[in-house]
Amino acid sequence: MAVKGRIGILTGGGDVPGLNPAIRAVTIRALREGWGVIGIRRGWAGLVDLIRDKNADNSNNFQVLTEEIVNRAGRTGGTFLHTSRTNPANVKRESVPDHLKDVYTNDKNDLTEEVLKNLDFLGIDYLIPIGGDDTLSYAVRLFQEGVKIVAIPKTMDNDVPGTDYCIGFSTCVTRTIELANSLRTVAGSHERLMVLEVFGRYAGFTALLPTMAGAAHRCVIPEYKFDIEHLAELLIYDRNRNPSRYAIVLVSEGAMFKGGEMVFEDRTTDPYGHAKLGGIGDLVSARLKELSVQFNNGHPINIINQRLGYLVRCGDPDAIDSIVPMAYGNLALNLIMKKMHGRMVVLKNGRYDNVPLDIVTSRKKFVDVERFYNVDRLRPKFESFEMTPLFIMTSDNT
């Protein structure tokens, strides 16, 4: 046990580049300040199925972190602690750990009491969860139960409220631009329309920002239900005035046709109640090919349909997702050293800060359609970038 106490770190939800640099920043600073650091493995799952027995093999649940361990992983993508979408407050009966099956027998079970006991068993004084609104919503629950929480926002959708920036977003935008620019050579060679489906369940930042940067001609986002005939007319106009005879549209996975709903791969849900999205790009592609005859003098136009998916969240972090996690990790340590908790470290208007943790569950963060999205042209709208933050759209646009 370190002199000053013990800090736990976990990563939950989807992986993004920048998680390992954040873990590294927390660990190195904490060790040098006299704290011990434990990495919780597999997100909240590591705190659900841990066995409170000193003789039990809990190596799949936690590991003691050292400078050597975090330095080795600190420049890489993903999370070496691994991750899951486990929600301890909503565990299905079949997912209850074997040693708890006699205690928790409902179809859905709240294992928060076990999580609290496991934190005590590990001797964790402060917990630093790194995640999106799902992971951090459970962190709010633990804070309400008395756990000392300092959170770090992560999600490539950049949709955690209270902060202008979430770890992973910059690399996602960078990858999307790179992939769109690579694929445009195929679209141009065959004179086609290209549909690229990108992540973004409720917020369209990952489609809007790359389009603003020139990666696509148009984009459709979850915040505005679009008319597919209007999209077809715009794209064919773009294609026919382009010397290379192609046009690109970025489609958020949560985008919806006018009069329609989100498109799901199936109706099963994750522990936070979200059905798996996927397929809107396929539907858009099929309809665009049908409608191309109508807007292209009776001649059909073939479509390139590509779901970018995990390609935008894999690999090493870019410069911003190497620097911001380092700053976030150190900010988290500053709060702990001041004995502050129930906070989330953030970037607001270009400056590092912290806000109350419960902002995560108080509201949602969406694209301000009126300010940033031209619903007639189905593309980003901007009049002036003066005094806007690095990524233009802030957490205050909700």
85 backbone dihedrals φ, ψ, rounded to 5°: -105, 25
Assess whether 157 carries a catalytic annotation: yes
Helix (H, G, I), strand (E, B) or coil at 110: coil
- What DSSP state is assigned to residue 106? S
299 backbone φψ class: left, alpha, beta (φ>0; ψ -120 to 50): beta
Q: What angle do CA 153, 158, 164 make, to 5 degrees?
A: 75
CA atoms within 13 A on the CB side of 387: 0
> Among 157, 159, 164, 321, which one carries the catalytic annotation?
157
CB atoms within 10 A of CB 165: 24
42 backbone φψ class: left, alpha, beta (φ>0; ψ -120 to 50): left
Alpha carbon distances (Å) from 274 to 20, 84, 120, 154: 26, 14, 31, 18
Catalytic residues: 157
